[in-house]
Structure 1
Amino acid sequence: MSLLVKITLSAALILSTIVPFGAFAIGEKTRGRYKVALAVNLFLFFGTMIVAAVLMFDGNAFAAEGAKETAAAVSSAAGMGYLSAALATGLSCLGGGIAVSAAASAALGAISEDSSILGKSLIFVGLAEGVCLYGLIISFMILGKL
């Protein structure tokens, strides 16, 4: 990618986090501003990611370097492989975090009432954490194929 594209994407990613929180700090003190700030942040962040994906996997970025079309196609396929490995790890960790938050809070409530069920409740928390490890293993398998 050219230097201009890298600078533009870096600025867009930085602004996608600064602008919503700046608007959040300046806005009126209502409960709904949290949702508005989060929605604007998510819109700008994922919009930037879509633009970055189009620019990175277009294949025209390699034309300036004099690469052949086959090399661009291979690099584009490798880029999609790296993206899929990142998504496998990221989404599995996100799901595992949600599962651990539910299981751990329920386990703490149950342990506060009856301390003899500590071992049983830790098993459920460990099973929820296993989802993250499975995603990491899948991403290593994807990276091994590249």
Structure 2
Amino acid sequence: MYWLITLMTLGIVGIIATGVVMEIKPAAINRRWFKPTIGLNLLLFIVGQATLLFFGVQEVMAAPAVAESSGEISIGLGLGIIGMGIPTALSTVGAGIAVGPIGAASLAVLAEKPEIFGRTLIYLGLAEGIAIYGLVMSILLLDKL
């Protein structure tokens, strides 16, 4: 298991190091090998993550059963808790994707017409509402758990 975690860590460190090198000396980057290297690091991370998930699930399933009254979380409850957090995670990512361009456009418009500040806030609020909907769904799912 530790070799998988090391493999994933090296993939992440490689991507971070490439980003730092690009930020410091962007002209020194050889573009011919750059994209395949980043793709290889990303593929390495994804394969390591999938393998870790596969071996981790196998190890948990092979563990001896414990009494339910001991207060530990079962596999079903753990997966339910993860599934409960997914709507919040995905809606927050969606809201971030929506708020970015809307915020940039709002600032550009406010530089020319400051009197439409309220309208731009409404658009930003509508985009941010996506995250609130995901949070409400997670709270409703928490009640079912």
If the length of structure 1 is used for normalisation, what is the TM-score?
0.70
| Distance (whole Å) between structure 2 residues aligned to residue 67 and residue 10 of structure 1 | 26
Whether 2:46 is the aligned partner of 1:50: answer no
Give distance in 2, aligned partners of 1:119 and 1:34: 45
Gaps of 5+ in 2: 23-27
CA distance in 1, matches of 2:85, 2:32: 32
Equivalent residue, structure 2, for 1:29: 29
Q: CA deviation at 1:110?
A: 1.1
Quick one: structure 1 residues 32 and 106, their matched pair in 2 at CA, closer, same or farther if it must change by over 3 Å?
farther
Q: 1:127 to 1:106 in 2, by over 3 A?
A: same
Q: Distance in 2 between matches of 1:34 and 1:51?
A: 26
Q: 1 or 2 for the larger relative contact order (CA 8 Å, sep ≥6)?
A: 2
Q: 1:11 aligned to 6, 12, 17, which one?
A: 6
Distance 1:38-1:122 versus aligned 2 partners, 3 A rule = farther
Q: CA 1:34–1:127 in structure 2 vs 1: closer, same or farther (change >3 Å)? A: farther
Q: Alignment RMSD, CA only?
A: 3.1
TM-score by length of 2: 0.70
* Structure 1 pair 19–62 and aligned structure 2 pair: CA distance change class (3 A): same
Matched, 1:83 2:117: no
